């Protein structure tokens, strides 16, 4: 069996992990990155293709008649033509829940960054401000507790649930908005408008669909408190970037923390690059060593299960 890995560089920090785990399944070809125009040639006559973000489109599938399995180094699968893969009898498996703890951790890194202002205070200390302070405690920048604040969560899958659990442990008030009514949910649930209105922190953990694309727009942002902070670690296209930039620059909301953008790598002309109080990280919430190792094992287990006739994490 032949296996093609199309974008291994997206899995590595340097060479800290190896793709050798997949050699047990067959003849392995590994490409650091693959452009859309080279995708079909890279797959060639492989039966298995593994990728993170490389588009597997209808034309690609048509040029690769041996393809039987697509494995994703990701939870999202919007880069694959799922419907056409199904028509062709190709199994598609994602790696659901591999990043649950890591992404929830990043959400609270953002929240704590906003409330505690550690970066700003470190800068002041290294600039000599504490040394020249007449008082033992130097705090010209307001900070705040997260205890008692309202954390509104859009999307109540594994990451949304973990984020709610951590927020609850911090003593935050949790409000959940989800497409389907959750069972045994211990938190308040509300429609999207109410969820936004009540939020001190509004965090998104929903998949990118026709319904969620651009859901963060001028209308929703107008419902938020001027003191509220938006967080997006889901998919960039959930946010209408010009609308969010306008809301930040006009003070309609207090800040935004984003780990994803509509175009990645970031376009130099995105209005969010220069927007006020907008912190952007380069899609790193999932990228800890421990999380990537977990992802690697899930993808390998998915292949093994498919070979054994009982595929796990099948999305089609």
Q: What does CATH list as the number for 100-280? A: 3.40.50.720
| Domain coordinates in residue numbering, the chain | 2-98+289-307, 100-280
Active-site option among 47, 205, 262, 283 = 283
Residue 120: active-site member: no
Q: What is the pLDDT of residue 183?
A: 87
Query: Of these residues, 47, 162, 205, 235, which one is catalytic?
Result: 235
The reply to whether domains 2-98+289-307 and 100-280 share a CATH topology is: yes
**Domain 2-98+289-307, CATH among 3.30.300.20, 3.30.450.20, 2.40.50.220, 3.40.50.720:** 3.40.50.720
Find all residues with CB under 8 Å of 86, minimum gap 6, and list them: 92, 316
Examine the residue annotation and report whether 126 is marked as an active-site residue of this protein: no
Q: Decide: 133 and 159 in contact? Cβ < 8 Å.
A: no
Would you give per-residue pLDDT tens digits along the chain (316 residues)?
Answer: 999 999 999 999 989 999 999 999 999 999 999 999 999 999 999 999 999 999 999 999 999 999 999 999 998 888 999 999 999 999 999 998 899 999 999 999 999 999 999 999 999 999 999 999 999 999 999 999 999 999 999 999 999 999 999 999 999 999 999 998 888 899 999 999 999 999 999 999 998 889 999 999 999 999 999 999 999 999 999 999 999 999 999 999 999 999 999 999 999 999 999 999 999 999 999 999 999 999 999 999 999 999 999 999 999 9
Q: Does residue 241 have an active-site annotation?
A: no
**Confidence at residue 78, expressed as pLDDT on a 0 to 100 scale:** 86
């Amino acid at each position: 069996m032949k296996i093609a890995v199309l974008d291994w560089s997206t899995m590595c920090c340097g060479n800290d992990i190896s793709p050798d785990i997949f050699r047990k399944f067959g003849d392995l070809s590994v490409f650091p990155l693959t452009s859309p125009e080279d995708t079909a040639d890279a797959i060639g006559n492989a039966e298995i293709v593994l990728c993170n973000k490389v588009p597997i489109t209808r034309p690609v599938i048509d040029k690769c008649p041996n393809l039987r399995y697509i494995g994703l180094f990701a939870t999202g699968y919007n880069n694959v033509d799922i419907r056409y893969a199904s028509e062709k009898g190709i199994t598609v498996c994602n790696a659901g829940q591999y990043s649950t703890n890591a992404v929830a951790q990043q959400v609270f890194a953002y929240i704590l960054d906003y409330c505690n202002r550690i970066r700003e205070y470190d800068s002041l200390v290294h600039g000599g401000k504490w040394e020249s302070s007449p008082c033992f405690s130097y705090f010209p920048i307001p900070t705040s507790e997260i205890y008692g604040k309202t954390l509104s969560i859009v999307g109540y899958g594994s990451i949304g649930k973990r984020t709610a659990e951590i927020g609850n442990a911090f003593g935050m008030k949790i409000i959940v908005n989800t497409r389907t009514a959750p069972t045994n949910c211990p938190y308040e649930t509300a429609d999207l408008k109410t969820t936004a209105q009540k939020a001190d922190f509004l965090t998104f953990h929903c998949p990118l669909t026709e319904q969620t694309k651009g859901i963060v727009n001028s209308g929703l942002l107008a419902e938020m408190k001027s003191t509220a902070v938006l967080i997006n670690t889901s998919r960039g296209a959930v946010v209408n970037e010009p609308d969010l930039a306008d809301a930040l620059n006009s003070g309609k909301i207090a800040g935004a923390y984003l780990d994803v953008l509509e175009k990645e790598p970031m376009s130099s002309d995105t209005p969010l690059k220069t927007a006020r109080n907008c912190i952007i990280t380069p899609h790193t919430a999932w990228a800890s060593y421990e999380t990537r190792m977990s992802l690697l094992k899930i993808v390998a287990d998915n292949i093994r299960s498919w070979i054994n006739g009982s595929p796990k994490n099948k999305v089609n």
